[in-house]
Structure 1
Amino acid sequence: MSRSASTSEPLSAELAPRLKLYARVLQGQEIVLGPGKADLLDAISRDGSITAAAKTMGLSYRRAWLMVDSMNKGFREPLVAAAHGGLRGGGAAVTPFGLDILKRYRTMQTEIEALAARHFKGLKPLLKPSDS
């Protein structure tokens, strides 16, 4: 079966030139905020725990915890507050500071994408046609 027959998008659309950007906030060599970490903040906010958010995103708990730890260490205040153990098994919440950081990041990402899309319109016609 060809790739175009197995997906909802035709093969020609997959080969069409497109622009893909990732905004990442670096502190030294450490990525303290990027698309995956922003998605993790959304998932923690929605699911109420790092474990549930990790499952939702297909991450191991350890990977999700390391991402949270990196974010918390990279900013002046924690972005996520976690409660340990107990009868209900703890939980986690995105702090008000974390929600503000997430909102600022999403706004920045949207503005970057809009600006890049305008510039890409002029660049796109100058690209060679893709092989079919």
Structure 2
Amino acid sequence: MKSIKSRIWIEDNENVFLGYGRVQLLKKIEETNSISAAAKELNMSYKKAWKLINSMNVSSQDALVITNTGGKDGGGTTLTPYGKKMIVNFETLNAACEDFLNTEFKKLYQL
């Protein structure tokens, strides 16, 4: 069965705030509690991951990610409740877009 695919992203002043790749990074950070581990699992450099996280946090009304440095527990990175909400919101919006596009595609091509 044929279907249409697309990518969406949310911009802030023409800069990407949130998109598929950034959401994947946030999900891996939630899973691993580590920017380094998340980046490694996504075959991304730590520097790029950090740049993306910083960009999202700066563009956002609230932080999506909080980092804790060193200490006896070794630091770590966590998603904020707002960060978790943004993942859900983005995935909901993305699914709605795909549903809409597939519905329109089927109408146009009567598949």
Query: SS state of the match for residue 102, structure 2?
Result: helix
Larger displacement relative to structure 2 (64-73 or 81-90)? 81-90
Runs (4+) of structure 1 moved beyond 6 Å? none
Match of 2:33 among 34, 48, 51: 48
Larger Rg belongs to: 1
Q: Counterpart of 2:98 in structure 1: which amino acid?
A: E
Once residues 9 and 109 of structure 2 are traced to their aligned partners in structure 1, the CA distance between those partners, rounded to angstroms, is 24
TM superposition shift of 1:22: 1.0
Once residues 55 and 38 of structure 1 are traced to their aligned partners in structure 2, the CA distance between those partners, rounded to angstroms, is 15
Q: Which has the higher contact order (CA 8 A, sep 6+)?
A: 2
Once residues 44 and 109 of structure 2 are traced to their aligned partners in structure 1, the CA distance between those partners, rounded to angstroms, is 35
CA RMSD of aligned residues (A): 1.9
Once residues 70 and 47 of structure 2 are traced to their aligned partners in structure 1, the CA distance between those partners, rounded to angstroms, is 16
Q: Counterpart of 1:85 in structure 2: which amino acid?
A: G
Task: Please say if residues 41 and 94 of structure 1, whose CA atoms lie closer than 8 Å, have aligned partners that are also in contact.
Answer: yes
Which residue pairs with 2:85 in the alignment? 100
Which residue pairs with 1:114 in the alignment? 99
Once residues 60 and 54 of structure 1 are traced to their aligned partners in structure 2, the CA distance between those partners, rounded to angstroms, is 6
> Gaps (5+ residues) in structure 2?
none
**Is 1:68 the equivalent of 2:46?**
no
Task: Please say if residues 25 and 31 of structure 1, whose CA atoms lie closer than 8 Å, have aligned partners that are also in contact.
Answer: yes
Match of 1:91 among 61, 73, 76: 76
Percent same amino acid at aligned positions? 32
TM superposition shift of 1:95: 0.4
> Gaps (5+ residues) in structure 1?
1-15, 126-132
